[in-house]
Chains A and B, each alone.
Chain A
Amino acid sequence: MNQEDFQSGGERFPLTRRSVIEAVRSIDAEERERALEALCAAYWKPVYKYVRLRWNRPADVTQDLTQGFFVELLERELLEKFDSKKSRLRTYLRLCVDSFVMNEDKSGRRQKRGGTVPHIALDFAGAEEELGATVMDPAAIPSPESLEEFFEKEWVRSLFALAVEDLRELCVARERERTFRLFESYELDGNKQITYEQLSKEFGIPVTDVTNALAWARREFRKIALERLRELCATEEEFRREARAVFGWDSK
């Protein structure tokens, strides 16, 4: 029996995308830019929220610092110095943020940037709104451990939000908009009381269709989230470690 024999339950899992850490070191400028975009998409919100909380900076200053950080990441090739054997990318980036903000304070050079930030839309107003919707009393999270936890949680939130967006796009592409609406109602709206029966009445479909649609959506969500995660990890080992942390398997 070989590996190919183990395909009983479904199609083979798709080949993984290249890690951003590898891609960022590529000689191909386009690939490098794409990698930075992926990294920036996953991390800009956690970085913004972290700077707001940890460094207690006003919103406009934090916006500037967030953009400045990603420019610095690119210009000083900080990712080239990342060693996955020594730390997780997430921890490394958080430490880089800390050192970046400290250096900015020391030199007093806070300038408007943005020219070389990867081309993704940074919705600072939305991030500010989210900040208000979560914890956000700096006095309530004093220890470095809590801040690390906060950064981690915001990173997971950001990763999952991107995966949900990918799932929505996938549903649209496959004409399964109703499946996404079911997924939204059951998994995302935070209404724990809702049942499959209620959803079946609300959408006018049998309960088995609700079950199947949700199973499909969860499977795709999981696949997408893991693929995005794999992309943000340098090694398979780091990916496994991160997958456990992201999905909360270690804490259960």
Chain B
Amino acid sequence: MRFLSNAALERLRDGAEAPDLAGTRYRLLERIARGGMGIVYAAEDENLQRRVALKVLDVPGTDGDLANRLLREARVLAALEHPGIVPVHDVGTLADGRVFYTMKFVEGKRLDKFIESVASVPDRLRLFLRVCDAVAFAHARGVLHRDLKPANIMVGPFGEVLVMDWGLAKILRERATLDSQAMDRDATIFEKPKHGADSNDASQSSAVTAHGTVMGTPGYMSPEQARGDVEHLDARTDIYSLGAMLRFLLSGQPEVAPLSNAPRLDKSLLAICAKATAASPADRYSNVQELALDVSRYLDGLAVAAHRESFFEKAGRFYRRYRFFILLIAAYLVMRVAILLFMHR
């Protein structure tokens, strides 16, 4: 048997890792990242002459949990056509037996890196609202993301925000049907799953994230998700993650900071974070729109639902909101008083 040098081992490893794109229309360019399920490469679609991101499993086989999860992720993305959700182009199996899908190649920065260049709180909140838009859309289609965190959000060169990595997504079918009818009557091309397909998918879903299986990211994962209570998860689990993300955007960490390290934040924003990340789902916002509405109200200088203000807080907010007019009136009054005093001298 031939002895393999260390250099040969490395070459074999490198050669074995690269996806075999023979017979596809893609040409491998470079490795971008690795995730829990597989590796993401930049590739060129030779037919359309454009760059795509190709996500491929690291082990072969079209059955098994990972392959199912990758296929589900591709299907979930295909069903979610929204400017804030990365679009999927193609799905299949490579010659080496690995399942793959291609999606839009997103040039930009991860949110956790991007915010280093965004100092203003209102600008950070506006980015957050765009994330909320995409998540609210997914919820309306009956899809939970279940792994929302800054590392899974990309911000493009023109400020576009894209929610990535839907590998842990859960499909809530009944709600999907109801919500899509109730909230988006004009929506087209959204086919209701047939009964047979439904039951088939349900079995796949349970295999992928069976009850008791903990999947997610500590710090951003809701308590019920951390307990592995998969069957009872609803939109409020994503709301918890959004709350943790909001806290990260404001303070640099997803959890409540110790008092000595806590940055000075407005009580209303702290209350929004606290409500979104309440331990009990019943105490959280009931949907993403409510959370987004509270953040928008804060941005507009209005009272937020998460926080009952004292008289002084109300006055302070009133002052901040109408500061220009208040100062103008004050300046006018001061001038009038000064003129009166001058004339009576």
Residue on A with the closest CB to B63?
A3
Please give me the residue from chain B that is nearest to A156 by CB atom: B9
Known: A157-B4, A222-B16. A9 touches B92 (CB 8 A): yes
Interface residues as binary, B276-320 with A (CB distance below 8 Å gives 1, 0 otherwise):
000000000000000000000000000000000000000000000
Whether the pair A9, B17 counts as a contact (CB closer than 8 A) is no
Q: How far, in angstroms, from A162 to B1 measured CA to CA in the complex?
A: 7
Give the interface segment out of A79-87, A128-136, A197-205.
A128-136
Q: How far is the CA of A153 from the CA of B8 in the complex (A)?
A: 13
CA distance A160 to B59 in the complex (A): 16
Residue of A nearest to B13 (CB): A248
- Chain A's closest residue to B71 (CB) is A6
Residue of A nearest to B200 (CB): A2
Q: Which of B4, B17, B24 contacts A8 (CB 8 A)?
A: B24
| Chain A residues, Cβ within 8 Å of B22 | 9-10, 212, 215, 219
Given A10-B95, A240-B66: A133 in contact with B7 (beta carbons within 8 A): no
**Which of A134, A212, A222, A252: most chain B CB closer than 10 A?**
A222
Residues on A with beta carbons closer than 8 Å to the beta carbon of B31:
252
Report the separation of the CA atoms of residues A239 and B65 in the bound assembly, to the nearest whole angstrom: 13
In whole Å, how far is A70's beta carbon from the nearest beta carbon of chain B? 17
Q: How far is the CB of B312 from chain A (nearest CB, A)?
A: 55
Partner of A161 from the list B2, B58, B95 (CB cut-off 8 Å) is B2
The 8 A CB mask of A121-165 against B (1 = contact, 0 = none) is: 001001001100110000000000000000001001100111011
Q: Are B4 and A12 in contact (CB under 8 A)?
A: no
Contact with B along A6-42 (1 / 0, CB 8 A): 1111101100000000000000000000000000000
Scoring B residues 65 to 102 as 1 if CB is less than 8 Å from chain A, else 0, what string do you get?
11000010000000000000000000111111101000
Q: Secondary structure of the A side of the interface?
A: helix
| Docked-complex contact A218 and B1, CB < 8 angstroms | no
Considering the complex, give the chain B residue whose CB is closest to the CB of A227.
B60
Cβ of A97 under 8 Å from chain B: no
- Give the shortest distance, in Å, between A180 (CB) and chain B (any CB): 11
Instruction: Count how many chain A residues have C-beta atoms less than 8 Å from C-beta atoms of the other chain.
Output: 47
**Contact for B8 among A12, A188, A239, A252, CB less than 8 A:** A188
Q: How far is the CB of A104 from chain B (nearest CB, A)?
A: 27
Q: If the complex has contacts A160-B12, A190-B5, A252-B34, are A8 and B58 also in contact, measured as CB distance less than 8 A? A: no
CA distance A147 to B64 in the complex (A): 34
Min CB gap B290→A, angstroms: 36
Contact A10 B1, beta carbon cutoff 8 Å: no
Asked if A222 contacts B96 (CB within 8 A), the reply is yes
Q: Which of A9, A13, A218 contacts B15 (CB 8 A)?
A: A218
Query: For window 207-246 of chain A, which residues contact chain B by CB distance below 8 Å?
Result: 212, 215, 218-219, 221-223, 225-226, 236, 239-240, 243-244
The answer to whether B62 has its CB under 8 Å from any CB of chain A is yes
Question: B interface vs A, CB < 8 Å?
Answer: 1-13, 15-18, 20-24, 31, 34, 39, 58-66, 71, 91-97, 99, 200
In the A-B complex, the 9 residue pairs with the closest CB atoms: A13-B97, A10-B95, A190-B7, A8-B92, A222-B16, A9-B94, A6-B93, A218-B15, A9-B95
Chain A residues with CB under 8 Å of chain B are: 2-3, 6-10, 12-13, 123, 126, 129-130, 133-134, 153, 156-157, 160-162, 164-165, 186-190, 192, 212, 215, 218-219, 221-223, 225-226, 236, 239-240, 243-244, 247-249, 252
